[in-house]
Chain A
Amino acid sequence: MPGRTEREAEQAFLDPLAKALSCIARAKFQALRRNGSKVLLLEGLELKGSWNLKLEVTHYYRLLSNVNASASERFRVSTLSYYYTFLEESGAAEVISYQWHPAGNSGYLGPHLHLGSGAGEIPPWLSKCHLPSGRVSFEQIVLLAIEGFGVKPLRTDYREALQASHDRFTRYRTQPGDGFA
């Protein structure tokens, strides 16, 4: 998400996430900054729906600048990695976890998902397996919660709001070679 300043870019990044979250919960992300990187967290957010689940989010990002970009897009937030995990109601077992951690210890660099024991009888080798996926947005996770898992939306216009925000994410997500460093 671009901005004239670091603060504006961060605001442009966080605002859609907060709006998406407001579609399913009255909650806020937690955040911690260190050396230019920041981690956003959601801890065991209870989701009441067709199946009662919990949502856990870990989203790492940093701010980048591009001196060649227009003034309005001089700064941008870039995602470093994410973990979007649905847990069973007790929070003890994962059901499904969407992940992307290109700089982690894993040899698997692309976006993927994991199935967990909370989804039912899963052989251990399968729960460790990186199942390829596209890069997902938090908005898609919220939409999955509502339309896939039956979580009651708190906004009647949730679909339009999430779609607009997801489109913006798709437009502005950083890509290799786009000049930001």
Chain B
Amino acid sequence: MYSHGIRKTSYWWYQRDSRGLHLRFRPERAEFAMARSLLPITDSLVDEISPAELRAVLDRRARRLLSLTGEQFLAKWNQGEFNTPEWENDPRLGHLSLLIPFLSNGH
């Protein structure tokens, strides 16, 4: 149906026939374009990861910074074991704690 078009955009198609040039609408392409517009625009620039994947990041960093697994760090954090003067202003703690809010599902 569209094979004789001379130029196309995402969902508009210029088609020439014996009566001249006509602008045709391609609804299936419009639907695709609208669906694509709802995706995060960052898709091509970054890889979106899940909270579970971030948990693996936290695990690697906790092992490096504190010699703890990620789960061990979170358990100590939740039990308030870092709320002591010796941990105050410790840069390793700040580094890891900022990741915590992203570990749960959110929008």
Contact = CB atoms under 8 A, between A and B. Distances in A.
Nearest to A44: B60
A138 interface: no
Contacts of B104: 34
Interface residues of B, number: 29
A99 interface: yes
Nearest to B91: A114
B36 to A, nearest CB: 12
Contact of A31 (B49, B97, B106): B49
B98 A81 contact: yes
A97 B99 CA distance: 17
Contact of B107 (A35, A43, A93): A35
A105 B57 contact: no
Interface stretch (A10-18, A45-53, A145-153, A158-166): A10-18
16 contacts: A7-B41, A8-B41, A11-B45, A14-B42, A30-B48, A32-B102, A34-B101, A34-B102, A35-B101, A35-B106, A39-B102, A44-B60, A105-B94, A107-B89, A128-B91, A130-B89
Top 3 closest pairs, chain A to chain B, by CB:
A34-B106, A104-B94, A31-B46
